[in-house]
Amino acid sequence: MSSISSAGIGSGLDVNSIVTQLMAVEKAPLQQMQTATSKIQNQLSAYGKIQSFVSTLRDASSKLTSATTWNDTTATSGDSSVFTATTDGTAQAGNYTLSVQQLATAQTVASPASAFPVGAGVLRIQDGAGGQAIDVAIGAGDSPAQVRDKINAAKAGVVASVVTDASGSRLLLRASETGADHAFTVREVVSDGMGGETTTTTGDLAKLTYDSSQPAAAGVNMSLTQAAGNAKAKVNGLDVESASNLLTGAVEGVTIKLGKVSASPVELSVTNDTESIKTAISAFADAYNQLNTYLSQQTAYDATTKKAGTLQGDSATNSLQYAMRGIASGTGTMAGSYQRLAQIGIEIKKDGSMSINDTKLTGALGAQLGDVKALFASKDTATASNNGFGVRLQQWGDALLKFDGALTSRSESLQRKVDAGTKSQDAFNDRMTQVEARLRKQYTALDNQMSKLTSLQAYVTQQVTSWNKSTG
């Protein structure tokens, strides 16, 4: 007879416990594999952060090699109510005088108070600067607001508005742009009696027309309330003129916004923008310190906690930090009065970090800006040691981060190790699954045999007992 049994039942053999304990021994190497892969993963993560910090330092160094950084200027007006000024990268430091004789104006005309209601017709608006004339159809009985909206919708180079006073509503037309060239005419389109058309200022819409070349009758045509005019000024005694109140080109690289007429000349001062340069240098020092601090943390060993940084003992990281500090604390041989960063107030401390003496840096920028620029931005294609510190650290960062650079190659190597470790763990787990299945099969078979032996022993014991009773 066959019997139904569960592992350990009947035989007393604890198959599950035995297999579990045996598998714990078999799986012991997995923990070591996981620990090793985790360590490499942490190193890979650390190198990722190093790449990010190096990239930031490279970009900050690059900014100090740019002509734009060193050519930044700022313009100051002696009276901001007369004019204000801004500069671009081409402006040169210098002092100028500027007086304003006339501001640019936009032509403005106004209709008579009795202009409305109007008759039907077509107004033709022509900008004096040329371009296509725009026709606007006016309906009989159109209100001032309706006429205004039709003209504005036509985008004819004028802006229409309605002004209402005790005399009634008036239509105002103002040129969209200032300047003498933007004087405009408004004429009514009428038939010439021969199948063609002509324009006039005496038709049904006469009170909405204006033409400076035609005599304007009071109460019959629109009247000129402001003539179109150019801005006129003097820069260092030289006459300049502009269609708008923005003067560009009068002083190279400087845009001047006129505010009002001046009774006397006002000083315009263009100076080097040392504050923006100091901001760029500060960003450079911050980026350097972030990288230096991170490298120090990752390679340190804490004797108290007996814990080492992720990259402690990593020769590549130590070499990287050594090279960075060597560049920053080194000496340049470029032309100029400065050969070391410390000479302009950027000092390297014992821990490798940078500190900035603002007073010393401000003094250097004010006294010898060109030499400070050379300290960072000078380039010598023949001799790398002649390059400025910004150039050298930018090139150092580029070399580390390029596709076959040291940081890129190291990260790729660590990633391959992580991938290999993960693959090995997967293969190991697959083997352990097979081993566990084999052990369970073996011990289940042993359990069945022991169960049978136990049953046989019970039967023999029963038979012996019965035999003893029968012979007793």
pLDDT at 383: 78
Tell whether 144 and 184 lie within a shared domain.
Answer: yes
The answer to whether residues 194 and 173 belong to one domain is yes
Token match 């010393």: residue? 360
User: Could you list the residue range(s) of the whole structural domain that residue 207 is in?
Assistant: 108-226
Q: Which two tokens stand for residue 89?
A: 């990268």
Tell whether 138 and 208 lie within a shared domain. Answer: yes
Domain boundary among 272, 303, 335: 272
Name residues whose C-beta falls within 8 Å of residue 39's C-beta, 6 or more positions apart in sequence. none
Of 466, 421, 455, the closest CA to residue 35 belongs to 421
End of a domain among 158, 192, 226? 226
- On whether both 308 and 435 belong to a single domain, the answer is yes
CATH number at residue 222: 2.60.40
**Looking at residue 188, what is its pLDDT?**
95
Question: How confident is the model at residue 1, as a pLDDT?
Answer: 39
Residue 271 burial by Cβ neighbours in a 10 Å radius (0-12, 13-18, 19+): middle
Sign of the Cα pseudo-torsion (105, 201, 142, 111, in order): positive
DSSP 292-323: HHHHHHHH-EETTTTEE-TTTT-HHHHHHHHH
Q: Identify whether residues 130 and 184 lie together within a single domain.
A: yes
pLDDT of residue 8: 54
Question: Mapping DSSP to helix (H, G, I), strand (E, B) and coil, where does residue 194 land?
Answer: coil
Q: Which tokens sit at 244?
A: 């708008």
Residue 158 and residue 85 share a domain: no
Distance CA 407, CA 54 (A): 9
Q: Comparing C-alpha atoms, which of 449, 464, 406, 334 is closest to residue 10?
A: 449
Q: CA 366, CA 240: separation in Å to the nearest integer?
A: 32
Tokens 């011990």 sit on residue: 443
> Is residue 440 located within the same domain as residue 337?
yes
Domains of the chain: total: 3
Question: Phi and psi (nearest 5°) for 171?
Answer: -95, 125
Q: 198: Cβ–Cβ under 8 A, 6 or more apart, which residues?
A: 189, 190, 191, 192
Largest CA distance in the chain: 159
Residue 393, class by beta-carbon neighbours within 10 Å (0-12 exposed, 13-18 middle, 19+ buried)? buried
Are 130 and 112 spatial neighbours (Cβ–Cβ below 8 Å)?
Answer: no
pLDDT at residue 346, as a whole number: 95
Specify whether 351 is located in the same domain as 307: yes
Edge-first strand order for the sheet with 254-258 is 83-87, 254-258, 246-251
Sequential DSSP letters for 320-332: HHHHHHHHHTS--
- What pLDDT, on the 0 to 100 scale, is given for residue 125? 96
- Which stretch of DSSP H or E encloses residue 242? strand 238-242
Shared domain for 51 and 87, answered yes or no, is no
Per-residue pLDDT of the chain (472 residues; tens, 9 = 90+): 344 445 555 556 787 888 888 878 887 888 888 888 888 888 888 889 999 999 999 999 999 999 888 988 999 999 999 999 999 878 888 999 999 999 999 999 999 988 888 889 999 999 988 888 999 999 999 999 999 999 999 999 999 999 988 888 899 999 999 999 999 999 999 988 787 889 999 989 999 999 998 876 777 899 999 999 999 999 999 999 999 999 998 999 999 999 999 989 999 999 988 999 999 999 999 999 999 999 999 998 888 888 888 888 888 889 999 999 999 988 876 667 889 999 999 999 999 999 999 999 999 998 899 899 999 998 887 777 788 999 999 999 999 998 888 888 888 888 888 888 888 888 888 888 888 888 888 877 887 777 777 777 777 787 778 787 777 6
d(CA 270, CA 234): 17
pLDDT of res. 106:
97
Among 226, 258, 285, where does a domain finish? 226
Question: Could you tell me if 322 and 458 lie in one domain?
Answer: yes
Could you tell me which of 108, 404, 312, 68 has the C-alpha nearest to residue 229?
108
Q: Number of C-alpha atoms within 13 angstroms, CB side, residue 412?
A: 9
State the amino acid at position 155 in one-letter form: K
Cβ atoms of 250 and 57 closer than 8 Å: no
Residue 211: predicted pLDDT: 93
Is 376:66 a contact under the CB 8 Å cutoff?
no
- Do 388 and 324 fall within a single domain? yes
The answer on 294 and 192 residing in a single domain is: no
**Helical residues (DSSP H) of 64-173, grouped into ranges:** 67-71, 144-154
